Structure 1
Amino acid sequence: MGRDTEDDDNVGSRAELLPEEQVVGSDDPEAQARAILAESEERTEHPEETRLESVQTPDPGTG
């Protein structure tokens, strides 16, 4: 499976709105899915950079 096909499959899967997203709706679920997946990929590829930006990740010196 090629990268583009895999990306399209991931976007298609993520574009299916979660229950809480269905409540508020989405003007463009595919664009929303692409943005979410791109941000996730960025965090995965550069954890040291995004760790410092995250309010959900404890400081490296704690815990």
Structure 2
Amino acid sequence: MKGEAGTASLMTDDRIGRRAADLLPEEQAGGGSADPRAQAEAILAESDEREEQPGAAPDSFLERRSSGEASETGEITR
């Protein structure tokens, strides 16, 4: 778990427990984790870090738009 204030406040036992119970098939590949809670905690910490610092993962892109900025018809607007 990261020591950052924002990330630490989001790491609750309940949240970690729910994530550990719902590991994705690719996260369970190879027989699953010996410690699903630790795996869930690591997944959530990375997710929280990417949300707080979108540039933290160079290969990812996080687009933030409001519903008012989204196209109503599904068409691309410019």
Query: Which TM-score applies when normalising by structure 2?
Result: 0.52
* Residue in 1 that maps onto 2:56: 50
Is structure 2 residue 9 aligned with structure 1 residue 10? no
Instruction: List runs of 5+ in structure 1 lacking aligned partners.
Output: 58-63
Match of 1:38 among 45, 60, 77: 45
- Cα RMSD (Å) of the superposition? 2.8
Count of aligned pairs between the two proteins: 52
Q: Answer with 1 or 2: which has the greater Rg.
A: 2
Sequence identity percentage: 45
Question: Where in structure 1 do 4 or more consecutive aligned residues deviate above 4 Å?
Answer: none
* Residue in 1 that maps onto 2:69: none
Instruction: List runs of 5+ in structure 2 lacking aligned partners.
Output: 1-8, 62-78
* Residue in 2 that maps onto 1:60: none
Q: Counting helix residues as a fraction of each chain, which structure ranks higher? A: 1
Q: Secondary structure at the match of 1:35?
A: helix
